[in-house]
Structure 1
Amino acid sequence: MIPPAVRQGTCRIAPAATQSRSAQTFRAFYATIRNNWRQPSAPAEPEDVDPSEKDFIMSILRANPSLRDTRSYLASFGPRPKPPSPAPAKRTEESAPTAIQDRKTKDVVPPDIAQRLQSPVVASILNPIVRRTALVKVQAPFTDRQLESVATGMVYLEKLGLVSVIVVENDSLPKGEAGERAALLEETMRVVNALEKQGAKARPVLGAVVRLGPKPEDDELAAQQRGFAVPEAHTFPSDLVHIRSALHAGEIPVLPPLALDSFCRSVRVDANDVVAALTRGMVEVAAQDGRGRDPGFDGESEDMDLTPLRLMIINKEGGVPSYARSGLPHLLVNLNAEYPYIHNTFDPRWHASHPTALSNLALARTCLEYMPPSSSAVMVSHRSPSSLIANLVTNKPAVSSSLPHALLQGNRKLTPATPTLLRRGLPIRVIRTVADVDKVKLKALLEQSFQRILDEESFWHRLETHLDYVIVAGDYAGAAVVTREGGHGPDGEPITYLDKFAVLPSHQGDGTVDFLWVALHDESYGLGLPFSANPNGGKEGKGEGCDLVWRSRADNPVNKWYFERSSGHIRMGRWVLFWCDAEVRLKTIEGRRGSQGLSYVEDWEHGRLTHWADVVDKIPSSWKK
């Protein structure tokens, strides 16, 4: 049937129809919670709020989190479910008040608004129950003003429950120079002072906490087979005592890039090795202790999870430049599928403007291999502290990478300072024949995603004659099924039809939807353009693009997501017909048209919509009644 129920599992992907409502919800509750911070005797007016708090609020609002984003945030930082309390004893008929008595009581004693229980969403965001950690690499040197911007971002994150463990690097200080240790310690103290000026508590950890060399039990060959480099440093649980002490005391630990060599001397090493070693060490300690609980510390440690949730790389150069956007940053990187290709397409001129881009890309891949699948890494310029909040709350790129390329090229949000979001991701492959499809896994994926029972006999029979290709993410974590339909239109060519688009529930919010749609773009309406040569097992950009057509129920909440990614749509009763025009043809026509202006219906478009509607309306359902 219709693909595009496009769900991420049982929840449809990015319920865009609810985004405006969720934004209004955030504005509403932030208008009522300022008294929780300042506790005035009367509701505070906007001018009564400290400017820094206003900026903090606006940073969250600008993130525009969807309902799914909010739920995901609360799942990480909100209160854990409590066991149900025993049911109250039943009232006797003599003591039970009547409904009329209840109503009278409420009328006489109105609820005290000031004493109402706070919304759990509000309480969780302003006073997180569970505090998580992030590994942060700060690539100095920065001016005092730039460092203030960086510190502001760290303080914002701490307010939301994400406590940073910061490693400070100084790119302008060559290794081996006299006085480099003193310069590193001075830079570390500058970061500590900047954090404290912004109201945070910070603790310098000036001794080495990592050890040079791989861990004794490491199997380097196995790690290389998995596709990432083993960190050149390691830690043992006892090495992290100072970091854990700072975290449990509510302080942000700040470290210079030092390590102990085999002679127990403290030497300067690459900050990437320190960050990678800390990431692995904190994950292992959290697993051993049981969600980071440390019996060696007094009091409750239930509220601190040592497992790093984010990796943040803050520098002056921003994200990784993209071959698809003339050097502007990549928006979202699927490390599992794109890592070698980004290396191969890295313009030599970018080595001067982005000297650490590729080494930071390698750092992200190594760290994310140890971090949970839901974790992400972000490479961001010091100019954009608010983007750190957006990444934490939504775990999405600043601009969706699955938008049409024309929109990405003209998007004002896309600047040299736009962050690059990196996910571990999944391999992407294209299957051309039904015989190569794992029918059991695809059936399970479709039924879990759409929550309907597949009519297997008719579905597989139709694919035998109509299948064009299937794009599969990972081990059938997501899939796009594309068919060829019709063939008797004005030009005699069949239409390229998106029959199914689905993602498993366990992969909702991890970038799989965007990765899958970008691959779909590269194989259909984006084919033939240089930026469609992504390594997805398909045609790798070689060929001629074609229009992509699909239908969706008129009441599908995902339609707003489709509106943003399609060239146009028409309504067909209970259906909405969407399409994406072949981008090569659009580009050619725009060049021919020049300054003549935009025609709403081009000559080559006449008759095609009627043909599409006729063909699509006759496609049978794939589901059992």
Structure 2
Amino acid sequence: MLSLLKSSKLVKFQYPHINKAITAKLATSTLFRVKERAPPLKQNAHISQLQSEKELIFKVLKSMPSKREAKSYIKKFSAASDSVHKITSQPVFPIALVNLIVPLYKEELEQVAQTLAYMQRLGLYPVVVLENTDWAGEVPRADRFEPGQFRYLKEIMINDGLALSELLEMENVKTRLISSDCLDATPSKVPGPVRIAHSNIDIKPIASSLKCGAIPIVLPICSSADSTHSATSSFDAMCALSKVLSRYTDQDTKIYGRRLDVMKVIVINNRGGIPNPGFHGQYIPFVNLQQDFDSLIEGYQINNVKLADPPTWQSDLNIVMQCLEYLPATTSAVVLSANTINAVIGNLITDKPLVSPSLPTAQDQNDVTVLRYGLKTMTHTSLKTVDQYKLWKLLNDSFGKEVDIPKFKARLDKVLHSVVIAGDYQGASIVTLEEGDTIYLDKFAVGPQHQGIGVADLLWKQLLADYPDLMWRSRDINPINKWYFERCDGNWKVPKSEWVMFWYGKTGVDRISQYLKVSGNIPPSFLPKKN
């Protein structure tokens, strides 16, 4: 227990020690409600509230959401963000599972508290699972603690929870400390870390906290059948909560009064996002776990990247992988440092990385990583192996008009080079081989209901990997052109037409004449719109 008793220089923010009388009271409490502070003078509170509102508006505007992103945010969260009283009548309660890893500098923890308060006001309610790296090291042997030793470990955990609670309540946010009523331990005779019984988790303490507008702060403490308490890891707590919430039923909604939907998984640490194994000092802006997880692990092994003791980038990657595996495909995750916590607000509004992963790596870097469980891609070189019904439907839905199937299919039978399908036809790219060995991107489509979840970036990364040189065209009024301009190496307005021609690759400049010729010769793929 010496590691818990000593005043280590690694502890960047020391919390005030609670006296023995209060400690004894907390050690026997399974659900401790933090007492609210006396309100400040009305004038000061009003000025503080106005300043906070201005800061929040600035952060929202700074995220620069597109029209589609703004509509998507309003659809998901506006009903929940009106007021706490309106929330109680909403059938769906959007929440974020937040793994907060301390110790942090005091200023960092204050910034985290402010951002959690902003999230709540924007309609996404945090459920915080707390971990301190100083006491987390004791968890693997907590099953061998004497009762007095565990009481002291629990006291330290509660101290950390109270410190965060105090900062949140300074932001005018109610909190509730949940120390053991939520998680049950799995019976085991084998020595080792205490595991959580995923099938026996009580959501009521969390649901009741959210119902009264309080942010739950969950400590990784389990209850056993014999009424004893044990410490577990925040990793296990996050995974268990994800699994239980993913199985939320209509009956649960009737019991708890609303449906709890996990929209975000957020890991806040003092290191930052997931580092790029191929570029020292750079972080990966977006990870599609279905395709990138194994290659990331392998990349670190090949590049002999030294792995630090847990928690490391790998533990962050694992916890997100485990959580998203249980949750809906629409749920995304963010891994970031407390220094860049403000990025959560931008991601909440736009639901995308700060820097698109399909942009050139020369773009500005940041230490924030957005992750999705994601989709796998499948490459076809013939229409015979493609589900053509799903492909034509995807194109119809994406472009808002009907494919001229006989003509378009006849053309692809002659010039098709590849069809890349994302997931179950959530997106697709069609590449053809045109005159003069010109590689042409004929179609690039993402289903309307799957836009904004990284499908376009996934397909584009595949194109970059498969084709070092590529050209395509787009109508000059196409709103997606801004996205194309950011990713092309050059573009040219096709004379006497409605088309803009784009390309990327080293040979593009030398092939402009050929590209323009191809752009002018591609026949229409869609039927004329009916009046």
Q: Is the Cα contact below 8 Å between 1:78 and 1:125 reproduced in 2?
A: no
Alignment correspondent of 2:94: 132
Shift of 1:518: 1.2
C-alpha separation in 1, matches of 2:121 and 2:220: 26
- How far, CA to CA, are the matches of 1:611 and 1:354 in structure 2? 55
The answer to whether the aligner puts 1:201 opposite 2:155 as a matched pair is: no
Q: How many angstroms does 1:234 deviate by?
A: 3.6
Instruction: Show the counterpart of 1:68.
Output: 68
Amino acid at match of 1:283: S
Q: Hey, what's the Cα distance between the residues in 2 that align with 1:126 and 1:513? A: 38
Match of 2:51 in 1: 51
SS at match of 2:340: coil
Could you tell me how far apart the structure 1 residues matched to 2:464 and 2:195 are?
Answer: 39
Question: Relative to structure 1, is the Cα distance of residues 249 and 513 closer, same or farther in structure 2, using a 3 angstrom cutoff?
Answer: same
**For residue 408 of structure 2, what is the aligned residue in structure 1?**
459
How many pairs are equivalent? 462
Q: 2:79 touches 2:123 (CA, 8 Å); kept in 1?
A: no
> In the alignment, is residue 363 of structure 1 matched against residue 312 of structure 2?
no
**1:242 lines up with 2:213 in the alignment:** no
480, 486, 490: which one pairs with 1:564? 486
| Distance in 1, Cα, partners of 2:68 & 2:254 | 28
Residue 342 of structure 2 aligns with which residue? 386
8 A contact 2:195–2:232 mirrored in 1: no
* Structure-2 separation of matches of 1:501 and 1:350: 40
Structure 1: how far apart are the matches of 2:212 and 2:84? 20
Q: Which is further off, 136-145 or 321-330? A: 321-330
* Superposition deviation, residue 51 in structure 1: 3.1
Within 1, Cα distance between the matches of 2:271 and 2:201?
36
Say whether residues 1:276 and 2:246 are aligned partners: no
2:441 paired residue among 484, 491, 498: 498
CA distance in 1, matches of 2:273, 2:517: 46
Q: Whole-Å Cα distance in 2 between the matches of residues 495 and 125 of structure 1?
A: 58
* Per-residue deviation, 1:264: 4.1
Determine the structure 2 residue equivalent to 1:618: 521
Residue 516 of structure 1, aligned match among 436, 459, 464: 459
Work out whether residues 234 and 281 of structure 1, in 8 Å CA contact, stay in contact via their aligned partners in 2. Answer: no
Q: CA deviation at 1:75?
A: 1.5
CA distance in 1, matches of 2:270, 2:233: 18
Q: 1:624 to 1:125 in 2, by over 3 A?
A: farther
- Residue 123 of structure 1: CA displacement? 6.0
**Structure 1 residue 162 and structure 2 residue 124: aligned?**
yes
The aligned residue for residue 158 of structure 2 is: 185
1:317-466 alignment, distance < 5 Å: 317-346=271-300, 347-352=303-308, 355-406=311-362, 408=363, 411=364, 414-415=365-366, 418-466=367-415
For 2:73 and 2:272, locate their aligned partners in 1 and report how far apart those are by CA, in whole Å.
25
Structure 1 residues 238 and 502, CA, compared in 2 at 3 Å: closer, same or farther?
closer
State the distance in 2 between where 1:127 and 1:329 align: 40
Q: Is the CA contact (8 Å cut-off) linking 1:404 and 1:566 kept in structure 2?
A: no
Tell me if structure 2 keeps the 8 A contact 1:125–1:160.
no
SS of aligned partner of 2:308: helix
State percent identity of aligned pairs. 33
Q: 2:471 aligns with which of 542, 549, 565?
A: 549
Task: Report the CA distance between 1:556 and its aligned residue.
Answer: 1.1
1:188 counterpart letter in structure 2: G
Aligned partner of 2:426 among 477, 491, 494: 477
Deviations 1:51-80 (A, max 9, x none): 333221111111111111111112112349
SS at match of 1:471: strand
* Offset from partner CA, 1:461-515 (integer Å, 9 cap, x none): 222221221111012211101111112xxxxxx1110000111122122211111
Tell me by how many angstroms 1:193 deviates.
1.4
> Are 1:127 and 1:161, in contact at CA under 8 Å, matched by a contact in 2?
no
Deviations for 1:14-56, whole angstroms, at most 9, x for unmatched residues? xxxxxxxxxxxxxxxxxxxxxxxxx99xxx9xx9974333221
Residue-by-residue CA offset, 1:136-167 (whole Å, 9 max, x unaligned):
11111112222111111101101111111111
RMSD: 2.9
Structure 2 letter corresponding to 1:343: I
Cα distance in 2, alignment partners of residues 559 and 485 from structure 1:
23
For residues 372 and 245 of structure 1, the distance between their equivalents in structure 2, rounded to whole angstroms, comes to: 23
Structure 1's 56 and 274: CA in aligned 2 closer, same or farther, altered over 3 A?
A: same
* Corresponding letter in the other structure for 2:155: A
Cα distance change on mapping 1:259 and 1:69 into 2, 3 Å = same
1:549-600 deviations in Å (ceiling 9; x for gaps): 0011111111111111111111112110011124xx7xxxxxxxxxxxxxxx
State the one-letter code of the partner of 1:553: R
Aligned residue number for residue 503 of structure 2: 579
Contact in 1 for aligned 2:133/2:311 (Cα 8 Å): no
How far off is 1:373 after superposition? 2.2
Letter in structure 1 aligned against 2:63:
A
SS of the counterpart of 1:405?
coil
Query: What residue is the counterpart of 2:3 in the other structure?
Result: none
TM-score by length of 2: 0.80
- Report the CA distance between 1:383 and its aligned residue: 0.8
Q: Which amino acid aligns with 2:456?
A: V
The SS at the match of 1:563 is helix
Distance (whole Å) between structure 1 residues aligned to residue 181 and residue 238 of structure 2: 12
Task: Output the amino acid matched with 2:104.
Answer: F
The one-letter code matched in structure 1 to 2:293 is: Y
Q: Describe the SS at the equivalent of 2:414.
A: helix
2:8 is aligned to none
Q: 1:256 aligns with which of 208, 214, 219?
A: 219
Task: Give the Cα–Cα distance (whole angstroms) in 2 for the partners of residues 263 and 237 of structure 1.
Answer: 15
Aligned counterparts of 2:199 and 2:208: Cα–Cα separation in 1? 15
Contact 1:331 1:421 in 2 (8 A): yes
Which segments of 5 or more consecutive residues in structure 2 lack a partner in the other structure?
Answer: 1-41, 143-148, 188-193
Shift, 1:235, TM fit: 4.8
SS of aligned partner of 2:261? strand
Partner of residue 39, structure 2: none
1:147 and 2:109 are equivalent in the alignment: yes
Report the residue type matching 2:332 in the other structure.
S
User: Could you tell me how far apart the structure 1 residues matched to 2:520 and 2:401 are?
Assistant: 20
What is the aligned counterpart of 1:507 among 450, 458, 481?
450
Q: Which amino acid aligns with 2:158?
A: L
Higher relative contact order (CA 8 A, sep 6+): 1
